Amino acid sequence: MKTKLFSFVLMFTAIVSFAQQDAQFTQYMYNTININPAYAGSRGALSIFALHRTQWVGLDGAPVTNAVSVNTPFSGSNLGLGVSIINDKIGPTTENTISTDLSYTVPTSETFKLSFGVKATANLFDLNVNRLNPVDDDPSLHGFNNKFTANIGAGIYYHSDKAYVGFSIPNFIESNRYDDNEVAIFKEKINYYLIAGYVFDINSTIKFKPALLTKMVEGAPIQADLSGNFMFNDKFMVGIAYRWSAAMSAMVGFQATEGLYIGYGYDLETTRLNNYNSGSHEIFLRYEIFKNNGKITTPRFF
């Protein structure tokens, strides 16, 4: 007989795992490599990125995510390479994901390029039984300490300095992280991503970029993130976003130096979860070394 807490945490973990699946980011447009391997090297710079996200603050067992990535083009070729690490904690579970991305870019016109990418991923899944506090020890819960699974994914990314559209499947292989009597309670399903955005020059100092992310997972409603961001003098960014039937977000960013960009996002739930948490916080740093005499030639909004 297990405690109510044990049952609740398992139910909570199952609900989050099916509803959210891959780690969720509000400012995905700056962290695109985690969902689309074709993005690797597309900025024309050695790009180093670090993000911390605390979701649903005040709710015990809510997701906490840390992400680090590096991606760069290969000089003199059409290849790009990226490496990313994600640490995602939800309730009694911890996932550490390490991915390597390889892209190949083909110019299609004077302004647009088409990139193809492949992703190879190693995942370590850990279930901390001690946090479940079962009354009776359940042997079926053991054996999930850093359980290893591998996966592959792919994506395409059509882009210029002002526009982009991409489609990707980061993981082609479905895997069961936890089975109870051959019933998958914690299952990694296939996630499909469609992203798009366009930068409008309002005047010489103001740019506006609407963007869309659509995420599809079997057994869950389609998730759509709509955002609108303004950039002033290629230095300061402010924007809002709406995650369909889930949350409203506010975002700010600042180009501190030619290479260093700092961003912050806040989510406010629009569901009943709003009664049990004080929102989600997300902060990131991006540092880039540009190949053109160490300077960026065209400030990128994504």
Residues ≥6 apart with Cβ < 8 Å to 272: none
Average pLDDT over residues 281-288: 96
Residues ≥6 apart with Cβ < 8 Å to 158: 108, 112, 113, 114, 115, 164, 165, 166
pLDDT computed for residue 133 by the predictor: 62
What is the overall mean pLDDT for the chain? 84
Both tokens of 96, joined, read: 């550490």
Evaluate whether 40 touches 34 at the Cβ level (below 8 Å).
no
pLDDT computed for residue 20 by the predictor: 45
Q: Is the four-CA dihedral 25, 8, 216, 120 of positive or negative sign? A: positive
User: In the predicted model, is pLDDT for residue 134 greater than 80?
Assistant: no
Residues ≥6 apart with Cβ < 8 Å to 60: none
In whole angstroms, what is the distance from residue 137 CA to residue 1 CA? Answer: 9
pLDDT computed for residue 288 by the predictor: 93
In whole angstroms, what is the distance from residue 131 CA to residue 111 CA? Answer: 53
Both tokens of 125, joined, read: 């899944």
Q: Give the DSSP H or E segment for 17.
A: helix 4-20
**Between residues 1 and 231, which one has the greater pLDDT?**
231
Q: Whole-prediction pTM value?
A: 0.85
SS3 label, residue 7: helix
Both tokens of 174, joined, read: 């479905």
Evaluate whether 123 touches 149 at the Cβ level (below 8 Å).
yes
Reported in sequence order, the residue ranges of the chain that DSSP labels E, i.e. its strands, are 45-54, 64-73, 79-90, 93-107, 113-127, 147-159, 163-169, 175-180, 183-188, 191-198, 200-201, 206-217, 223-232, 236-243, 247-255, 260-269, 280-290
User: In the predicted model, is pLDDT for residue 289 greater than 60?
Assistant: yes
**Between residues 258 and 228, which one has the greater pLDDT?**
228
In whole angstroms, what is the distance from residue 264 CA to residue 139 CA? Answer: 43
HSE-up of 250 (CA within 13 Å, CB side)? Answer: 3
Superfamily designation of domain 1-7+34-289? monomeric porin ompg (2.40.160.40)
pLDDT tens sequence across 189-229? 889 999 999 999 999 999 999 999 999 987 778 889 999 99
pLDDT tens sequence across 70-129? 999 998 889 999 999 999 999 888 999 999 999 999 999 999 999 999 999 999 988 877
Average pLDDT over residues 272-300: 78
3-state helix, strand, coil in the chain (%, to 5): 10, 55, 35
Average pLDDT over residues 253-266: 94
pLDDT computed for residue 82 by the predictor: 97
Averaging pLDDT over each range in 136-150, 160-174, 181-195, which range is the top one?
Answer: 160-174
HSE-up of 302 (CA within 13 Å, CB side)? Answer: 31
Largest CA distance in the chain: 68
Reported in sequence order, the residue ranges of 108-222 that DSSP labels E, i.e. its strands, are 113-127, 147-159, 163-169, 175-180, 183-188, 191-198, 200-201, 206-217
In whole angstroms, what is the distance from residue 219 CA to residue 226 CA? Answer: 22
Cβ neighbours around 99 below 10 Å, total: 23
pLDDT tens sequence across 12-47? 444 444 444 577 888 888 889 999 999 999 998 999
Q: What percent of the chain has pLDDT over 90?
A: 58
- Residue the block writes with tokens 């009694």: 92
Closest CA to 47 of 26, 25, 78, 68: 68
Closest CA to 230 of 256, 212, 203: 203
